[in-house]
Amino acid sequence: MINSIIKTIKDNRLIEIADKVLNGERITTDDGIYLFKHAEVGYLGTLANYIREHRHGNKTFFNKNFHIEPTNICVFDCKFCAYSRFLREKDNYDAWELTEEQIYDSIKAYEGKDITEVHIVGGVHPKMGLEYFKNLIENIKAIRPDIHVKAFTAVELDYMCKKAKVSYQEGLQILKDAGQGSLPGGGAEIFDETIRAQICKDKCTSEEWLAIHEAAHSIGMPSNATIIYGHIEKPEHIIDHMNRLRELQDKTGGFNAYIPLKFRNGNNQMSDIKEVSIVDDLKMYAISRIFLDNFSHIKAYWPMIGRQTTQLLLSFGVDDIDGTVDDTTKIYTMAGAEEQKPVMTTEQMINLIKDVGRQPIERDSVYNELRDYTVSQLV
């Protein structure tokens, strides 16, 4: 199939890039930019699906998880964010700040259910520092010792470590000792400093984001990586972003998955920017799979991108669709994400995967395979 597609291509540069992929060679940054500007979506999907199936066959991974968002009160002012609220604003009609008991009640609500992960992220609240979150994680693990705690974007960690006057590694070690298992990939946004200055100038820098994840990897704490695409960036900025991640992954090997996150224009300061098309989504994910040769997994976060697009992406390099989520996140729904009530049962997750001919595999947070639902039934 892939060779027949290549034979129809007249562009010698695209033939050369395809040959690199087939031979397991790394494409260059110039190659990546060329793909964005000149490659058709069918060509990209063919190459990305070849890599995906070469690595994982038809396996498509998901986990059983839920989110806790302690607060949407935040000291930062990201232009693309529809989620955060400011302490200084008088009319914060939809701001929230959960109490510790409310958080623990959220954990207890899953007693007896085979949830394997709790994902904790939120706004950067000045009252919620390193000591607060250390105690929070310890108490969560006391309630549910078996659960994997994936918590805190690099933006949150940068703020809490600086406030506590500890290095990134010291702060992360404190959280790891309390029971934290991994980091999510949020806060990366886009690394190019000129773009970052326009959309999120007051949060941690790209260098600080990368330093935090390198510090996490150095103490044996894996992480994910993200990008926000489809706003004011150009292909050169996207490839620069992915290249910095690829270089860090060469150095540490600590990233589990890469998750492109589509810019949504609802209820934020960038609402005048039109969202990109599904074709652009397919190209973004496919090029991510082709370029990031040292990342094992490309994830589509289904609550943000939508179920039908997620199914399409399983033929464009994606092998992971996140988790059941259980309607516990507002970060993307408040910006007009595809799924306004993001919840899927395990059965729905399995059927979504099976309906496009893929093999549903339940995983844990670090990609150990827990159950193959290809032939087995739910119990």
Q: Which fold has domain 53-372?
A: TIM Barrel (3.20.20)
Number of Cβ within 10 Å of residue 2's Cβ equals: 15
pLDDT digit string (tens) for 120-138? 987 766 777 899 999 999 9
The pTM of the full predicted model, rounded to 2 decimals, is: 0.90
Per-residue model confidence as pLDDT tens digits over 179-229: 999 999 998 999 999 998 888 777 889 999 999 999 999 999 999 999 999
Task: Check residue 325 and give left, alpha or beta (phi > 0: left; psi -120 to 50: alpha).
Answer: left
Closest CA to 332 of 258, 238, 262: 262
Distance CA 377, CA 374 (A): 8
Taking the C-alpha atoms of residue 199 and residue 194, their distance in angstroms, rounded to an integer, is: 9
> Minimal CA–CA distance to 130: which of 98, 148, 157?
157
Q: Could you read off the pLDDT tens digit of each residue along the chain, which spans 379 residues? A: 667 666 778 899 999 999 999 999 999 999 999 999 999 999 999 999 999 999 999 999 999 998 898 877 666 565 655 555 555 454 455 666 788 899 999 999 999 888 999 999 877 667 778 999 999 999 999 999 999 999 999 998 999 999 999 999 999 999 999 999 999 999 899 999 999 888 877 788 999 999 999 999 999 999 999 999 999 999 999 999 999 999 999 999 999 999 999 988 766 656 778 899 999 999 999 999 999 999 999 999 988 899 999 999 999 999 999 988 764 444 444 434 454 466 788 899 999 999 999 999 999 999 999 999 997 655 4
Phi, psi of 61 (to 5 degrees): -95, 145
Those residues with Cβ within 8 angstroms of residue 8's Cβ, 6 or more apart along the chain or in another chain: none
